Amino acid sequence: MFRPFDRALKRSRDKLFAGLRTFDGFRYFSLLTINEDIVLVTRQFADHRLVFSPHELVGRHLFRNGQYQRALADRVLEIIGKPFGKTLLELGANIGTHSVYLTRQGHFDRLICVEPAPNNIHLLKQNLALNGLAEKTSVIECAVGDRDGTVDFYFDEKNFGASSMTDHGGTSVQVPLRRVDGILQDLDVSPEEIGLVWMDIEGAEPDAIRSMGEIVDQGVPILMEYVPGRYDRAKVSEMTEYLARSYRRCIVFDGKSEKQADIRELPEDTYDILLLP
């Protein structure tokens, strides 16, 4: 007798909360009320699904805004068009948000995801599997630099993406350190097969660039986080002069707009930059 009433009440409740979730304030409040014992959240978005921690920066963006730098990923693909190479090389793949975003348009047949942080790697593999990308992705569990060896890797519990080789007083673990050219050689992938390099490795960009000379020489498009505050001035000069030989265009994204700049005269603040031949 009460079942129709219960069903109607449930539909009304679901409709109410669906409406409330469209408001930023409600989503923000919902985020604040998530208990610490809720370790992971799985969320279905329009064209993909992701599992993430709601207690760190990327996860909070996903929970509250439904995306993390999706507009930047889409804009980069719009600018470069269909790449000649069909392999995406992602250095600092984090939990796989950009791996998913950058493959939604079908430009890439293969992914190489390089990530050193064990907690990120666990979620990265889950998200690749959730979105049908596991079979065409090589996950390389290491940091990248200009030499092969091992390195101390420091964790940032509030922002998994900010974990790095820089000692900021957090928990650390030793991880393999590898050159990019060595990774590609082991995978039998030529620089010509790379269509885009997406790089966000928390200050290690100059060393990584030195380890992928053939990719740079080929003028493969590179989207990288440019963090001059973390680089030695000599490294900045060396890196920009080296890149300027192969890249004639540099687009600077500040989160709200984009503008072209001379790679030798980049701003002093942190930006995402797209290097184009």
Span 191-197, mean pLDDT? 97
Nearest to 153 by CA among 181, 127, 111, 121: 121
The answer on 43 and 86 residing in a single domain is no
Contact of 203 with 166, CB cutoff 8 Å: yes
Among candidate residues 65, 93, 113, the one where a domain is terminated: 65
- Mean pLDDT score across all residues of the chain: 87
- Residue-level pLDDT at 17: 42
pLDDT tens for 89-138 read 999 999 999 999 999 999 999 999 999 998 899 999 999 999 999 999 99
Among candidate residues 32, 65, 98, the one where a domain is terminated: 65
Q: Is the pTM of this model over 0.95?
A: no
Least confident of 59-73, 98-112, 153-167, 202-216: 153-167
The answer on 47 and 78 residing in a single domain is no
Which domain range does residue 53 map to? 3-65
The answer on 77 and 213 residing in a single domain is yes
Report residue 3 as tokens. Answer: 């079942």
Span 7-25, mean pLDDT? 51
The answer on 127 and 38 residing in a single domain is no
The answer on 189 and 236 residing in a single domain is yes
Report how far apart the first and last C-alpha atoms of the chain are (Å, whole number): 71
pLDDT tens for 39-71 read 899 999 999 999 999 988 899 999 899 999 999
The answer on 110 and 157 residing in a single domain is yes
Residue 156 has pLDDT above 50, yes or no: yes
Span 136-148, mean pLDDT? 96
- Residue-level pLDDT at 31: 52
Contact of 58 with 52, CB cutoff 8 Å: yes
**Cβ neighbours for 215, distance < 8 A, ≥ 6 positions apart:** 89, 180, 181, 191, 194, 197, 222
Could you tell me the CA-to-CA distances from 107 to 42, 47, 98, 206, 218 in Å, in that order?
26, 16, 13, 27, 19
